[in-house]
Chain A
Amino acid sequence: MLTLYMRLVGARIRAQMQYRASFIFELFGFALVTGVEFGVLLILFNRFDAVGGWSLYEVAILYGLSSISLSLVEMIGRGFDAPFERMMQQGAFDGILLRPWGTFFQILASEFQVRRLGRTIQGFGALMFGIAGLTISWTSAKIVLLVLAALSGSLIYLGLFVIGATICFWTIKTPEVLNAFIFGGQQLTSYPLSIYSEAIRVIFLSIVPLGMAIYPATLYLLDRSDPHGLPVGLAWAAFPAALLFLALSLAFWRYGVSKYQSVGS
């Protein structure tokens, strides 16, 4: 299955390379856009010394992790985004159902956006910037949690993309509210969760557990505690929670596929 994935993704990348000029333009475009995002953060901290008691370097870690986890999914999971909407509009999902592989696997393998690497690199840079500016007492648990935090975030973002795509089985278009969770979620988790109202904290710790993915792990990393009394040990629950979230979105996906109506020919 992995070799087939590599082959299909390879084909997709070769297809993108057919439009080389546009590809290079987009790669730089994304690097620039995400660079500006981090610039805004720097400007913010030029005016204020801390946000919710967090220094620039500490926020840079949150921002970096959040950016990396979203960028990984933007790279591998965009098949569930705009290309999927197009697929639904044109009835091309029929073709997916005619191949002897699972639909989730095929949609995942239908798109791979190398240009999103721009954000990954930028996120990694921000993370390194944060780590370099702080004195962290490293333990192996902290390293494991750091990796799990980025991975958990990715799994939840992937789940959100899958939910958005599944809604297309009824509406053809992914509702904008999903983008509010995906891109809003990325912005939101770039700052300490403690600065938000209780309602937002509850939503992002339960229904869409993005708040659980990165924030508690960063607390653990920085030996900080949450002003609202959120247990730091929650960091270890992030990965199972993310897996559960993805599993639920996959169940929803399966249900959606069974409701597929195709299009009139």
Chain B
Amino acid sequence: MALIDVEHLRKSFSIAIRQEGRLAALRSLVRRTYREVVAVDDVSFAVEAGEMVGYLGPNGAGKSTTMKMLTGILVPSGGRILVDGRDPHRQRTEHVRRIGVVFGQRTQLWWDLPTIESFELLRHIYQIPYERWRSNLTRFCDLLELQPFLATPVRQLSLGQRMRADLAAALLHDPAILFLDEPTIGLDVVARERIRAFLTQINREHGVTVILTTHDLGDIERLCQRVVLIDHGCVIYDGALAALRERYGRERALVVDLDPGGMHRPLDGLRQLAGVVALEQEGVRLRLVFDRHETTAAKVIAAVAEQTLVRDLTVEEPPIEGIVRAIYEAPRAGL
């Protein structure tokens, strides 16, 4: 059986509706009207041990709500979750012993105490044998370079340092699964890269299964072989990132550097070329976006060469942003 098994998961919240008119506040005390908001409508997927899965979707799609149900924080309104054979909410204490969680916006560390003290408290909370704890801590200190700020109170850490400390904290008790909600949010390029390298390592070398949500498309490209895309509380794609790119990444861009000394005919005619979606010019650089289902790179290059003198050219792969946008914008029936 899969390590994580989610079937027809659903979560709705009832939200009190503010009443209009005079004495509304008073009336709402007596009788409140509720509106049902469905955060997760129908989500099913399974994750095998050792996978690294990106759980993606636009804001409000239900990503965080799903994560909170998977980690046992929220009780599902319907459907079923089994993580390592357990119901995350009903068997909460056994369940959380086996998982590590990092929610990027919030720290799980003791705010006013030196970082090392949080790690020590976690040793007692999870009843980690001292030797095991010691060797894990040494390894994380090494991989995440925690040593310089172990004695610094958490509130004084930079965002990048805090995230590294939070990652170490989530892994000290050797969890089988790591849940990450926006692990690189707000970090600079170097800090992001360090965290990505670390995640790759614990996944590959230690077999930790990783589920992450992110808005950072670099994270997805770098970390996730498989992505689960959700929108409006439903799964709209589940599969390999490469296949996703193949299916929805119809657009390619041809970038041409024109020869400044060459003769140029007016380039506007290229816009009318079959399959060309957009044309941008900036100085001697020309950017042509085309649909590879309607034309080929060769045809576009030939057309450009006919009009002007080309010095250099490259064909760009579709950026993941564009793919995700295309999926979000596509009508749901078509998927």
Give every chain A residue within 8 A of B71 (Cβ-Cβ).
Answer: 97-98
Which of the candidate stretches A88-96, A147-155, A176-184, A207-215 sits at the interface with the other chain? A88-96
- Are B117 and A11 touching (Cβ within 8 A)? yes
- Are B110 and A11 touching (Cβ within 8 A)? yes
Please name the residue on chain A nearest to B99 by beta carbon.
A98
Q: Taking the complex as formed, is A227 at the interface, i.e. its CB lies under 8 A from any CB of chain B?
A: no
- Interface residue count on the B side (C-beta < 8 Å): 30
- Are A7 and B112 touching (Cβ within 8 A)? no
Within 8 A of A (CB), among B61-120: 64, 68, 71-75, 92-94, 96-97, 101, 103, 105-106, 108, 110-113, 117
- Are B125 and A4 touching (Cβ within 8 A)? yes
Q: Taking the complex as formed, is B181 at the interface, i.e. its CB lies under 8 A from any CB of chain A?
A: yes
CA distance A71 to B2 in the complex (A): 52
Q: Taking the complex as formed, is B315 at the interface, i.e. its CB lies under 8 A from any CB of chain A?
A: no
Within 8 A of B (CB), among A79-114: 90-92, 94-95, 97-102
Q: Closest approach, in angstroms, between the C-beta of B258 and any C-beta of chain A? A: 47
CA distance A4 to B105 in the complex (A): 27
Q: Taking the complex as formed, is B247 at the interface, i.e. its CB lies under 8 A from any CB of chain A?
A: no
- Are B106 and A7 touching (Cβ within 8 A)? no
Give every chain A residue within 8 A of B112 (Cβ-Cβ).
Answer: 14-16, 18
Which of the candidate stretches A41-49, A196-204, A254-262 sits at the interface with the other chain? A254-262
Q: Closest approach, in angstroms, between the C-beta of B196 and any C-beta of chain A? A: 21
CA distance A33 to B278 in the complex (A): 74
Q: Taking the complex as formed, is B121 at the interface, i.e. its CB lies under 8 A from any CB of chain A?
A: yes
Q: Closest approach, in angstroms, between the C-beta of B299 and any C-beta of chain A? A: 46
Interface residues of A toward B: which range?
A: 20 to 34
- Are A98 and B64 touching (Cβ within 8 A)? no
- Are A265 and B121 touching (Cβ within 8 A)? no
B72 in complex: contacting residue of A16, A90, A97, A101, CB < 8 Å: A97
CA distance A25 to B92 in the complex (A): 41
Known: A94-B68, A98-B101, A99-B96. A7 touches B73 (CB 8 A): no
A4 in complex: contacting residue of B97, B124, B153, CB < 8 Å: B124
Which of A3, A11, A102 has the most chain B CB atoms closer than 10 A to its own CB?
A11
* Chain A residues at the B interface, C-beta cutoff of 8 Å: 3-4, 7-8, 11, 14-16, 18, 90-92, 94-95, 97-102, 258, 260-262, 264-265
Can you sample 24 A-B contacts with CB below 8 Å?
A: A4-B124, A14-B112, A15-B110, A15-B112, A18-B113, A18-B153, A90-B106, A91-B106, A92-B106, A95-B108, A97-B72, A98-B71, A98-B72, A98-B96, A99-B125, A100-B93, A100-B94, A100-B126, A101-B93, A101-B125, A260-B74, A260-B75, A265-B64, A265-B181
* Chain B residues at the A interface, C-beta cutoff of 8 Å: 13, 64, 68, 71-75, 92-94, 96-97, 101, 103, 105-106, 108, 110-113, 117, 121, 124-126, 153, 181-182
